Chains A and B, each alone.
Chain A
């Protein structure tokens, strides 16, 4: 069992390292630098600037300096927002992104899970086909299409909710973005839950539970659900990555001041340090959350621990 955890932990380190290495060398290989301006600087000033950013050192030394700084949580100053460091910008955006993302995940688990169970228990009914049809739409249509359409109908035609803006974090402003963000994982989780629930319901131990006279509610609640939710837990890793990626578009569409919006603005303005900082931050976040999901999965599913003991 410990071998499994240890192996997972050790597996995360090279990935984290790869994130930082790839982004560093990509930036250094890029043609043109952030100091290439139309106006020529005098060579002395340019030399001073290069020195201030350690650009006069050999590449490998720069890489070492950069790694050491990043590990200490220093991602440098932003090129565009000149009075802020990248870490400050990330810190200011994170609570906003976290709030929406977390709500979306919980929403996806509750709504997707219930819809999936409903569809599985009433297999081939109208409700089942309806849920699966909606799930197909949710999986196929990206949220940058769903979000504007949702706003068009609910925000523009019916005027029920504000079309965009953060409004100091008021609930009304967050409903549409959260729904738009949650829809793809809702669809996916509904499909996963339905498929695994149907399989579990056919298994012998469920038949045994029914045969011994356990009420249907308990058969589902106590026995079937636990097993049926396993694939959903393992999907949580990709789901989190998807929500983080999705939040980039959603924050852009609704004008929410989270990390995603800084990221897109930074990308459009070629704000090298900011973009790199966010990639490293998001990369590490995704890797760590994946690790957490794997560890939880190990706790839930004894088969995995067992498999690892033997290799």
Chain B
């Protein structure tokens, strides 16, 4: 199948800054500037960028949370922003996301059980009993037990919350999983657990993914293809292997050069 599952076609997004309504628009901040990219089915696209690069805006436009100022976004050949009614609902089911801030990703007043069953209720999947089974199964897949269901989000650790976020995202068995800096707020060892879970899930469900991060090591670990964004423009793209081993653009080279060097382990102390 040659048709990419997700395609951005010359997408631009500008945010207007109006100091006082009715006055002339003072400044236009161009978050995205004519961005085009393709994500083939089953592949993971890593989006690298620093703050202000527009990488989060990219995801928000795809998720229909922010309207683009120009350009089209296509999902499976259909214009995402043209969807209505039942088509829109079907789209929602196939495209899910995990967000950055584990603190604000969940309604603090709801228990995890309610949070996980919400997607099922919205799409009217299963009876109540069936839903409970699906939720427990979903938790198990991310390595959590059913005792989590009765807890509130603030009672869980950061790592546990991101696991629940993954569970929520996959409960509808989507085709696409979008991840917006999901491990940036986590410790190294917890990050490793969540990233491994992400990889396992992606393989298990055959997901197509877009993974946004400013951490190049993380991007290298999860991505097949890479896109480098700078101030809203794509400055480099290609396979992960190619971009990381022989970066073409100055900016990419500067980014890679700026990464602190961790000397490789030569010899672990004799053990066992």
Do A and B truly interact?
no
